[in-house]
Chain A
Amino acid sequence: MTISDPFEDVWRREVPHVLGALVRRYGDFGAGEDAVQEALLAASQQWPPGTGPDNPRGWLLRVASRRLIDARRSEHARTARELRVAVRDRVDTDHAPAADSVGPAGPAGPAGPAGAIEADDSAESADDTLNLLLLCAHPALTPAAQVALTLRAVGGLTTTQIASAFLVPSATMGQRITRAKATLSGLSPAGARFAPPSASDLPDRLTAVGQVLYLIFNEGYTASGGERLMDVPLAREAIRLTRELRTMVPDHAETSGLLALMLLTQARAAARADAAGDLVPLEHQDRALWDRAMIAEATSILEVLLPHARVGPYQLQAAIAAVHAEAPTWADTDWLQITVLYRMLDGIAPSPTVRLNLAVAVGMAHGPAAGLEVLEPLREEPALARGHRIHAVRAHLLEMVGDPAAREEYLTAARLSTSVPEQRYLNARAERLA
């Protein structure tokens, strides 16, 4: 599938709905995913160029259902032959109604008797997509597998597109997806339906979905503007999916917080690299380039959210990003408010990284010496020891107090960084102090 594919938008829009409906009806995610891919292939061969059918979702669903049932039948037939057990009657009874509903006209035929298969109302479809997101973020999968599966099953991206976004060969990404599908299939007995998580499990599972979407976003955002050209803008894709998730769980405050956080971060995209492709840190960004519409959307989400919700980590990070967004310059930033927000974040989701950010905020609000004091105990923190960030932050603070040790800290940070633009930036800072 290339950018010039006239039906790409249709695929991307319909894939989660079609796959979601199949998973709801037939339970097996892996087989459903295979069937959807086959239906897309059939569509690319059968739809007349430029015009698709009137109801592309119904068409794809019909074809995919037929493929799934055919695959099941041959699978069952083989099993039955091999095991020499007479289970066929039961199998056929189990699946006959769904098979019949596809209609004798066949997948490529005219409208045909569609029955229940086309009776998807939008509420059911939204539930299907939500269930797919929950399934793709299943705790049995590794984060890398969750990300790949979400982009493929809900985002409707091809394996090749996902592979190129993550700079790995298609075969490697294909392996991750195959493995993830096999893991999911292994979780339920053959043919069993995937029960949606119980009400008590739902918050945790939604948190996992949020983490996957945020991973996708960060992969896209941190890669943008550098030397790397992406043909699939992952950050925008993550925002699209989070926006969709929010319409399904409008009362889930952290999903709204996550959307606000993504929008406030993505708003800086145009300012984060200079003409040469070098990384421009927040401090030196041209704020006129920030996307005001995105900031306004995020701010209005937060204004409704923050007074009412039990505040979670994404909402707090979004609130911090909003304080940056409303400051006309780095120096005019309300650092005191950011300090308070980071202390709250450290209270509900403590981590060495949060305390490192707190040290920056304290350094700006109360002076670099105070920031260095917050930072000092973190120097023993094993989670930060091998990374470059603590040295970069310390170098900045040392530079602010005029300590010549800043140069050596910049060089240490540069040595430890594995990001080409960050390393170049840190070496340049050290050079200025030489």
Chain B
Amino acid sequence: MKYVILIHSNPQPWGHPTSDFIAEQQTQSPEQREQMNAEFEAVLTQMQESGELVHGEALADPNTSRLFRWKAGEAVVTDGPYSEFKEHLAGFFLIDVADQARAEEITAKFSGPGETVELRPAMWPGGDDQ
């Protein structure tokens, strides 16, 4: 089953890994940060080796976005960001795992203070006829 893990974050300044630029994480003790990093790296390595990680990308500053909105029969382009909310889409991972439980286990390791991580099932083109 395929899922997308969406990292909603607001690093200041914008940068990756986002955890280095988020106040809530900067104020953690070095030991805490190191432990979280190590756990994240471990699960990432595990997913690469098992073939559960399909793809991942870190995204550029939302201010670099270009927004295409349809007006009077043509696309009108403006500068981003798309969302006025505090958090923006900072990166995503496409995973292919056995079940929801495994997806949630992985996503827990992607989360941290000051960020929201969203786990969302991907649609698939097949279906059952029963």
Q: Which residues of A contact B (CB under 8 A)?
A: 142-145, 148, 166-169, 172-177, 179, 222-224, 226-228, 268, 272, 279-282, 285, 357, 386, 418-423, 425
Beta-carbon contact of A175 and B98 below 8 Å: no
* Distance (whole angstroms) from the CB of A190 to the closest CB of chain B: 21
**Interface segment out of the listed B30-38, B65-73, B79-87, B117-125:** B117-125
Decide yes or no: A422 and B127 within 8 Å by CB, A143-B98, A144-B98, A168-B96 being known contacts: yes
- Does residue B100 face the partner (Cβ distance < 8 Å to A)? yes
Listed A/B pairs (27) with beta-carbon separation below 8 Å: A142-B98, A144-B52, A145-B51, A166-B96, A167-B2, A169-B54, A175-B48, A175-B49, A179-B49, A179-B51, A222-B127, A223-B124, A224-B126, A226-B125, A227-B125, A272-B129, A281-B130, A282-B130, A285-B129, A357-B130, A386-B100, A418-B1, A420-B125, A421-B125, A421-B127, A422-B128, A425-B127
Report Cα–Cα, A357/B129, bound state, in Å: 13
Beta-carbon contact of A419 and B48 below 8 Å: no
Beta-carbon contact of A423 and B123 below 8 Å: yes
- Does residue B53 face the partner (Cβ distance < 8 Å to A)? yes
Residues of B within 8 A of A357 (CB): 130
- Does residue B55 face the partner (Cβ distance < 8 Å to A)? yes
Residues of A within 8 A of B53 (CB): 172
Contact of B124 among A145, A148, A418 (CB under 8 A): A418
Beta-carbon contact of A222 and B49 below 8 Å: no
B48-63 Cβ-contact flags toward A at 8 Å (1 or 0) = 1111111100000000
Decide yes or no: A168 and B127 within 8 Å by CB, A142-B98, A144-B98, A418-B122 being known contacts: no
* Distance (whole angstroms) from the CB of A148 to the closest CB of chain B: 8
* Distance (whole angstroms) from the CB of B85 to the closest CB of chain A: 23
Report Cα–Cα, A162/B53, bound state, in Å: 16
Closest 3 CB pairs of A and B: A176-B51, A223-B126, A175-B51
Report Cα–Cα, A425/B1, bound state, in Å: 21
Further contacts, 9 of them, CB under 8 A, given A223-B124, A224-B126: A143-B98, A144-B96, A167-B2, A169-B54, A222-B126, A226-B127, A281-B129, A419-B124, A419-B128
Within 8 A of A (CB), among B83-127: 96, 98, 100, 121-127
Beta-carbon contact of A420 and B124 below 8 Å: yes
Residues of A within 8 A of B50 (CB): 142, 145, 175-176, 179
**Chain A residue at minimal CB-CB distance from B128:** A222
Contact of B51 among A173, A222, A268, A280 (CB under 8 A): A173
Report Cα–Cα, A228/B48, bound state, in Å: 26
* Distance (whole angstroms) from the CB of B37 to the closest CB of chain A: 23
Contact of B129 among A144, A174, A280 (CB under 8 A): A280
Report Cα–Cα, A223/B128, bound state, in Å: 8
Report Cα–Cα, A425/B130, bound state, in Å: 12
Report Cα–Cα, A272/B52, bound state, in Å: 30
B interface residues, how many (CB within 8 angstroms): 23
**Chain B residue at minimal CB-CB distance from A389:** B128
Q: Which residues of B contact A (CB under 8 A)?
A: 1-2, 48-55, 96, 98, 100, 121-130
Beta-carbon contact of B123 and A172 below 8 Å: no
* Distance (whole angstroms) from the CB of A356 to the closest CB of chain B: 10
Beta-carbon contact of B51 and A144 below 8 Å: yes
Beta-carbon contact of B126 and A226 below 8 Å: yes
Q: Which of B50, B53, B129 is packed against the most chain A CB atoms within 10 Å?
A: B129
Report Cα–Cα, A284/B94, bound state, in Å: 36
Report Cα–Cα, A418/B123, bound state, in Å: 4
Decide yes or no: A228 and B126 within 8 Å by CB, A172-B54, A175-B48, A176-B51 being known contacts: yes
**Chain B residue at minimal CB-CB distance from A324:** B130
Beta-carbon contact of A223 and B125 below 8 Å: yes
Residues of A within 8 A of B52 (CB): 144
**Chain B residue at minimal CB-CB distance from A272:** B129
Residues of B within 8 A of A222 (CB): 126-128
Beta-carbon contact of A228 and B125 below 8 Å: yes
* Distance (whole angstroms) from the CB of A429 to the closest CB of chain B: 14
**Chain B residue at minimal CB-CB distance from A423:** B123
Residues of A within 8 A of B125 (CB): 223, 226-228, 419-421
Residues of B within 8 A of A228 (CB): 125-126
**Chain A residue at minimal CB-CB distance from B120:** A418
Report Cα–Cα, A279/B124, bound state, in Å: 13
* Distance (whole angstroms) from the CB of B55 to the closest CB of chain A: 7
Residues of A within 8 A of B51 (CB): 144-145, 148, 168, 172-177, 179
* Distance (whole angstroms) from the CB of B122 to the closest CB of chain A: 7
**Chain B residue at minimal CB-CB distance from A269:** B129
**Chain B residue at minimal CB-CB distance from A279:** B127
Residues of B within 8 A of A175 (CB): 48-51
Residues of B within 8 A of A285 (CB): 129
